[in-house]
Amino acid sequence: MSAKLVAIGDSLTEGFLSGSISKTELSYPALIAQCLGQQPFKTPDFSGEGGMPLNIEALLNRLAQRYGDRIGWLDLIPASLTVHSYMDTVEDYWE
């Protein structure tokens, strides 16, 4: 008879990465269950739109694709609009 694994905790328990809960399959309870051979381990899916609340890495990748490695003074307003648009998309998805 196998024991049930229940995990209650903070961001590390949920799979917090890059400022968002996005990779729950890499949370420590999922990794422990995998090592113990308890498959499948039920984890919620927060991968939509980069995770919840905001995936900083995805946001920075979007800015880098659009503006390159550096954002110049002339790109400051368009870049802030890009950030706002991304945050609005994430908000709309999770609502």
Q: What is the pLDDT of residues 71-80, one digit of tens each?
A: 889 999 999 9
Cβ neighbourhood burial of 67 (10 Å; 0-12, 13-18, 19+): middle
- Residues 29-83: tens digit of each pLDDT: 888 888 888 766 677 777 777 778 888 888 999 999 999 988 889 999 999 999 9
| Spans of all domains in the chain | 11-94
Q: Which two tokens stand for residue 29?
A: 């309870």
| pLDDT single digits (tens) 4-27 | 777 777 777 777 777 788 777 778
Length of the chain: 95
pLDDT score at 6: 73
pTM of the model: 0.69
